[in-house]
Amino acid sequence: MPIRNSLYKNFTQQIDEIINSNIQNERFGVSGLACEMNMSRSNLHRRIKNITGDSVSQYLRKVRLNKAMEMLKEQAYTMSEVAFAAGFGSANYFSKCFKDHFGYPPSEVENYAGDNEECQTLQNNKNVIKNFPDQTTSFIGRESEINTILSLVKENRIVSLVGTGGCGKTRLACEAIPKLAKEYKDGIWFVNLVPVETIELVTKQVLSALDIAEVPGKEMMEILIERILEKKLLILLDNCEHLLSACAELSATLIQSVPGLSIVVTSREALNIKEEKVWFISPLSLEDPAPVINVEYGNRSEAVRLFADRALSNNPGFKLANENISEVVTICQKVDGIPLAVELVAGRIKYMDIHAIIDRFGGRLAEIPSRVPGTIERHKTLQATIEWSYNLLSEEEKTLFRKLSVFTGGFDLTAAEEVCANEFLSNERILDALPHLIDTCMIQTTYSTKGQMRYKMLETLRQYGKKLVLETNEADETSEKHLEYFTWMAEKAFHERLKSQQTWIEKLDQEHDNLISALNWSDNNAPEMFIRLSGALGWFWRFHSHMVVGCDFLERALAKNTSHTESHARVLYGLGLMLSLTEEVPKAIDLLNESLNLWRQNENIEVEAAVLRDLIFPYQSVGDLESSQACGRQCMELAKKTRNLELINHCLGYVCFTYLSAKNFSQVKPLIFELLETSEKLNQPDGIILARHYMGDVALGERDFKDAERRYASSIETCWKYGNTIQSITDLQGIAFAVSGQSRYEKSIRLDAAAREAACQNGIHLKGLAGFWDDWICTYIEGARKKVGEELTNQYQDEGRAMSFDEAVKYALNFEID
The parts of the chain modelled with pLDDT lower than 70 are 1-9, 53, 75-76, 92, 103, 111-127, 136, 164-165, 289-292, 360-386, 388-389, 392, 441, 459-460, 562
Please report, as a single letter, which amino acid is at residue 145. Answer: E
Helix (H) or strand (E) holding 623, with range, is none
For residues 468 and 466, give the distance between their C-alpha atoms in angstroms, rounded to a whole number: 5
pLDDT at residue 379, rounded to an integer: 34
At residue 2, the pLDDT reads 35
Which one, of 233, 242, 118, lies nearest residue 185 by Cα? 233
Quick: pLDDT tens for 182-229: 889 899 999 999 888 888 889 999 998 898 988 888 899 999 999 999
**Residue 232: its pLDDT value, please?**
93
Output phi, psi for 307, to 5 deg: -60, -45
In DSSP terms, which residues pair with 192 in a beta bridge? Answer: 238
Sheet holding 188-192, edge to edge: 129-130, 188-192, 233-238, 261-267, 158-162, 276-280
Give how far the C-alpha of residue 415 lies from the chain's centroid of Cα atoms, to the nearest Å.
Answer: 22
Angle between helices 378-390 and 354-365 (to 10 degrees): 140
Q: What is the pTM of this model?
A: 0.60
Q: Return the sign of the alpha-carbon dihedral for residues 270, 272, 273, 274.
A: positive
- Give me the DSSP letters along 591-619: HHHHHHHHHHHTT-HHHHHHHHHHHHHHH
What's the pLDDT at 385? 56
pLDDT for residue 711: 95
Positive or negative torsion for Cα 176, 179, 183, 186: positive
Say how far apart CA 755 and CA 732 lie, in whole Å: 6
